[in-house]
A and B are shown apart, each in its own frame.
Chain A
Amino acid sequence: AQTVTQSQPEMSVQEAETVTLSCTYDTSESDYYLFWYKQPPSRQMILVIRQEAYKQQNATENRFSVNFQKAAKSFSLKISDSQLGDAAMYFCAYRRGETDKLIFGTGTRLQVFP
């Protein structure tokens, strides 16, 4: 069975600094996708970034980038130039193939200090 592990329950960062959130996963599949979702307090989950396993290049979306280490089954999220609005729960998620369900980690609560 596939599993997703986030070992950092909480992280904090100063505004304008950089922070990295960790995620590891376990799968025997070759076709899969990895995601980072953001869930602000009392607001709905939104997709931050996605990575296709078959792509070697790390995905980037503006201030958000990932470090995808396929052999190590590691998928970390780097947030550069952190902003107060980045404060939220961040969930790492795995999906087998294109249409399967998402499997989530337990989340990392990110606090951003001015």
Chain B
Amino acid sequence: DTGVSQNPRHKITKRGQNVTFRCDPISEHNRLYWYRQTLGQGPEFLTYFQNEAQLEKSRLLSDRFSAERPKGSFSTLEIQRTEQGDSAMYLCASSSLGGAAPYEQYFGPGTRLTVT
């Protein structure tokens, strides 16, 4: 079990550009969550999937943000027309609905986005 992985680990982009992040959850984890963490704050929920279905989106997720989990495995988070306020750490977490530790969310290392 290799844990949750996220790519890239760091991304620097210019304001107005589009960026896409990828999250690979722990194998066979049904649920996948995206959180955003700004400096000095705790993570804030953005959205989550159960398999390929997106079940909830936060009001934080503006129209410029879109997330997908096309085959119920990896997920992508895209930010269009980035703004400086989008600079943050984007965290992915996954959980299973069964097994040894059901429902526990395991976090990836995050993607740090810097918008210049």
Question: For chain A residues 63-112, which have a beta carbon within 8 Å of chain B?
Answer: 91, 93, 98-99, 101-107
Q: Is B91 an interface residue (CB 8 A)?
A: yes
Chain B residues with CB under 8 Å of A102's CB are: 33, 35, 43, 45, 93, 105
Chain A residues with CB under 8 Å of B22's CB are: none
Residue tally, chain B, CB below 8 Å to A = 25
Pick from B40, B43, B44, B103: contact of A99, CB below 8 A.
B103
Q: Is B25 an interface residue (CB 8 A)?
A: no
Q: Is B109 an interface residue (CB 8 A)?
A: yes
Residues 78-116 of chain B, each 1 if its beta carbon lies under 8 Å from chain A, else 0: 000000000000010101010000111111111000000
How many whole Å from A103's CB to the nearest CB in chain B? 7
Given the interface contacts A50-B104, A98-B102, does A43 sit within 8 Å of B109 by beta carbon? yes
Q: Is A11 an interface residue (CB 8 A)?
A: no
How far apart are the CA atoms of A107 and B35 in the complex, in Å? 15
How many whole Å from A106's CB to the nearest CB in chain B? 5
Q: Which residue of B lies closest to A91 (CB)?
A: B42
Q: Is B48 an interface residue (CB 8 A)?
A: yes
Pick from B44, B97, B103: contact of A104, CB below 8 A.
B44
Sample of 9 further A-B pairs with CB below 8 A, known A4-B42, A50-B104, A102-B93: A44-B108, A44-B109, A44-B110, A45-B43, A46-B107, A47-B106, A101-B56, A102-B35, A106-B42
Residues of chain B at the chain A interface (Cβ within 8 Å): 4, 31, 33, 35, 40-45, 48, 56, 91, 93, 95, 97, 102-110
